[in-house]
Amino acid sequence: MPFKTAYGVSDRELTRFVENSELVKFWLKKFSSRPKESWLSSSRRDKARILCRFFKWLRIEKDIDLTPRELVERHRKFRLSKDSTVEEMQWLLNLALEHSRDNPDFVGMHAIANRCAMNESEIKSAIEKIVNYYPAWTIGITDDPERRRTEHGNPKVWHHWKAHTEAIARNVEEYFIKKV
């Protein structure tokens, strides 16, 4: 389901982004080239668009103009250097978290998902579209999401999905806890 984006990219920008990066082409091969029936599923093109928008966000909001390869190499250098500070080693993680937490592209996406109860694969797919680094996120189940949000200090970004059954909710929770 398309949604309005603050960092939209044209088809021309997207094509240029993918064509100019062997790293991006290689990464995209792990995804299907065709969208599935569920609106929560995404194709290789959808993943490319998300990645391209991330790099556009970096240029616009952070004044960081790097190619995907340069970004990976910079992160790798920080991670392998014995002289790197914790902040330098977590640089890319912090950028990804800031992008996913504060990006207006993602505001309200949980409202779309909460229109009706979802099955297990739909919830997993919705979460996997949003979360880039699982240890930085919290997952749990509740019958009162607003109460839990308040108990967590009313975070700026909060996502929740309605499961068809409690068993589905518990299966999804267990699945993502194992990813941490």
Task: Tell me the three state secondary structure of residue 118.
Answer: strand
pLDDT in tens, 18-59: 999 999 999 888 876 665 554 344 678 888 888 898 898 888
**Residue 36's pLDDT is what?**
54
Chain segment 71-114, per-residue pLDDT in tens: 989 888 888 888 888 777 788 878 887 777 666 665 555 444 44
pLDDT value of residue 105: 60
Read off the pLDDT of residues 169-178 as tens digits, 9 standing for 90 and up.
999 999 999 8
pLDDT(3) > 80: no
How high is the pLDDT of residue 41? Answer: 44
| pLDDT score of 21 | 93
**pLDDT value at position 104?**
60
Q: Which residue has the higher pLDDT, 6 or 88?
A: 88
Can you give the pLDDT at residue 113?
A: 47
Residue type present at position 17? F
Indicate yes or no: pTM above 0.85: no
Q: Which residues, in sequence order, are CB contacts of 155 under 8 Å at separation 6+?
A: 149
If one compares 164 and 42, the residue with the highest pLDDT of the two is 164
Pick the closest to residue 24 from 78, 66, 63 (CA basis). Answer: 66
Range list of H helices, the chain: 11-19, 22-28, 44-62, 68-80, 86-89, 91-102, 109-113, 120-130, 145-151, 166-179
